[in-house]
A and B are shown apart, each in its own frame.
Chain A
Amino acid sequence: MSLLKVNDLSIVFGGVKAIDNLSFEINSGTIHSIIGPNGAGKTTLFNLITGVYTPTTGSILFDDEGVTGFKPYELAARGMSRTFQNLQIFFNMTAIENVMVGAHLHLNRGFLASFFGLPQIKKGDQYCRETCMELLDFVGLKKYADTDTDSMPYGALKRLEIARALASKPKILLLDEPAAGLNPAESREIDEVIKKVAERGITVVLVEHDMKMVMEISDHILVLDYGRKLTEGTALEVRNNPDVIAAYLGG
């Protein structure tokens, strides 16, 4: 069953076709990786899917609903969340508060109730704090809960972004280079977290340069080059494809 369907998607930046007539599907409950050389358009594709960019042509279907041109917060409400290649942490808050922002859509956001500090707001926050604490525990950051994020290590912040995205209760989670800049030990930790996320039934879409990680955990791999689809298939199929080898090594 396809959860996300991309049809003939293109985006043009001043004459450059960053994504060129791309079509693919992502099945529910899988780990789906997108790989390709630098500048292949992986992050651009993420920005298109999550509504940060609006495509020039083409369409995106999420859960059988046309969502082309939707704003990121509208997509979040439908069950899509993501992390960022270059960290986007709320550095003016503590770790737990960052995760609690992730739960935004599932909380009472009435203005007057908040203004007058009504009990239902406080109760909701109390409950939210507990569930977010579980998420922090899930990514292994429980001890940082009340730490200001500007004094947390880089590797922890990477996992914090995942916890925050999970708090929005997504059906699909897009991870943009979660292991970038991490040492091998931290990389393995992220690996474990991603697998556990998938076990929860959340569809994971992964952009990653760490090939060992990609080959090990992906159910399906899409290879991009110059904004086009080079090939797609299982790890084994992709690994042995001569075009892929050529794109990576030059040929």
Chain B
Amino acid sequence: MEKLKSPRTGGILVLCAIIAILPAFLSNAFQMEIAILIFFNAIVCIGLNLLIGYGGQISLGHGAFVGLGAYGSAILSMGQGWDPLLAMVIAAIFTGVLAFVIARPILKLKGHYLAMATLGMGIIISIVINTEDQFTGGPDGMYVDGLSFVTKQIHWYWIIGALLIFSVWASLNLIHSPIGRALRAVHGSEVAAEVVGVDTTRFKVMIFVVSAVFASVVGSLGVYYSNFVTPDIAGFFHSIELVVMVVFGGMASTFGAVVGAAILTTLPQFLTFLHDYEHLVFGLILMLTMIYLPKGLVPTITAFFKKGDKS
């Protein structure tokens, strides 16, 4: 029991400490902005990691779910004048229902076919956002009022930081429950999972919906934070970025998703001198990760220390 608990609670405590101390080291609004962006990305990645890392299903269209949350909130709060938080909840429910409807046929596919189907889904949603300009403002994007009661950047920092800690905690809870084991079993062997009573389709659909809702909520909050949204958020590159973060940080590792998001959100800031070659470097990182760290950063490091213990 001790063994089960310590890495979980320990990891969460370390994360809390980092989030608590970090503002003292951030000297300007731009750095604070990057920190908040890391939190946003990390939350999406935690949800996506449940799908990719634990459930063993790929999604190359998760940017679209972030986009649906963002535009759902933008349209409902600005166009319809709804309360922003209500708009966020409705957008999340809508995204969840859409993910549910899409998931049934899509998750019957495996491997490349599933990748293609999710890719196509993402592109379709992205096209709709781009072309329905009477609602979305088209490629120019939309201005959105923020949350009236959160005005200072540091308040955003604490809110999103707290949400990140909650997401890590909930994700770990889920993994270490019968649902989490069933999910990993689906990844391990679908037929073996079925014969001990796991309805594999149900679990695949469930986790697809959960990860879509994570993405949608982040999309909504992101748009309230930045007061602006463009179709890029739902685009192909955003989807790929999210997958790279998960794979780089470590599949089937909740903390890996956070670390992956942190490193790959910060990295482009140091690579700005490369201008147009940024995507090239991103691709290179993915390739090198797949070759030298196929299990991702965090699981590789953990395995290294475990080995050290034994010898």
Chain A residues at the B interface, C-beta cutoff of 8 Å: 50-52, 71-73, 75-77, 80-82, 84, 88-93, 97, 100-105, 107-109, 111, 113-117, 121, 124-126, 128, 146, 161, 164-165, 167-168
Contact = CB atoms under 8 A, between A and B. Distances in A.
B178 A124 contact: yes
Contact of B198 (A73, A91, A92, A93): A73
Contacts of A73: 194-195, 197-200
Interface string B172-198: 111011111110110111011111111
Contacts of A92: 184, 187-188, 252
16 contacts: A52-B195, A73-B195, A73-B198, A73-B199, A81-B195, A88-B189, A90-B188, A104-B181, A104-B197, A104-B198, A111-B206, A117-B170, A117-B173, A121-B173, A125-B176, A125-B177
B178 A165 contact: no
Contacts of B182: 101, 104, 109
B81 to A, nearest CB: 32
Contacts of B185: 90, 93, 101, 104
Contacts, number: 115
A90 B177 contact: no
B169 interface: yes
A164 B184 CA distance: 15
A167 B194 contact: no
Contacts of B172: 117
B179 to A, nearest CB: 5
Contacts of B187: 90, 92
Given A88-B192, A90-B188, A93-B188, A114 B179 contact: yes
Contacts of B192: 84, 88-90, 161, 164
A84 B191 contact: yes
B196 A109 contact: no
Interface string B196-212: 11111000001000000
Contacts of A50: 195
* Main DSSP-derived SS at the B contact region: helix
A111 B179 contact: yes
Contacts of A52: 191, 194-195
B1 interface: yes
A72 B191 CA distance: 8
B179 A71 contact: no
A93 B184 contact: yes
Given A88-B189, A89-B189, A90-B184, A114 B177 contact: yes
Among B3, B176, B193, B206, chain A packs the most CB atoms within 10 A around the CB of B193
Contacts of A126: 1
Contact of A109 (B176, B179, B184): B179
